[in-house]
Amino acid sequence: MTRSASPKQIAASLTELWSPRVIAEVDDAYVKVAKVQGTLGWHAHADEDELFLVLKGVLRIEMEQGAVELAEGELFVVPKGVRHNPVAQDECHVMLIERKSTLHTGDVVNERTRSLVEQLRPV
């Protein structure tokens, strides 16, 4: 990336829900943005933490030991191995940071699973 990027603006421009777009890379991690609404489904990433930063709206992250609700501007890291299910009652825009090796829906494949090829389409 040789120019700056606005995660909020790129997230707002996405047309498909639950389909993260890679906007930058930092060492072995990708920075992604996504537009979400509804639920992604329960899954875990055995070896990778996953950071969520809410750009717009509210995101609830359900975990077996409880849930966190993130307002706009708040972040949370789901530790590796923790089963979780992101839920947004209304449209929500998020920024994600996760290692390049991280699979979209972790150990689960469902109708919302997206490959990294789709995530790497040019912004």
Residues that bind its own copies (CB under 8 A): 1, 3-9, 23-29, 31, 48-51, 53, 68-71, 73-77, 80, 97-99
Q: Which is nearer to its own copies, 8 or 83 (CB)?
A: 8
Residue 82 CB, nearest distance to its own copies (Å)?
11
Compare residues 5 and 109 and give the one whose CB is closer to its own copies.
5
The DSSP 8-state label assigned to residue 29 in this structure reads: E
**Cβ at position 101, least distance to its own copies in Å:** 10
Shorter beta-carbon distance to its own copies: residue 2 or 111 = 2
d(CA 33, CA 55): 9
Report DSSP letters for 37-100, one per residue. EEE---B--TT--EEEEEEES-EEEEETTEEEEE-TT-EEEEPTT--EEEEEEEEEEEEEEEET
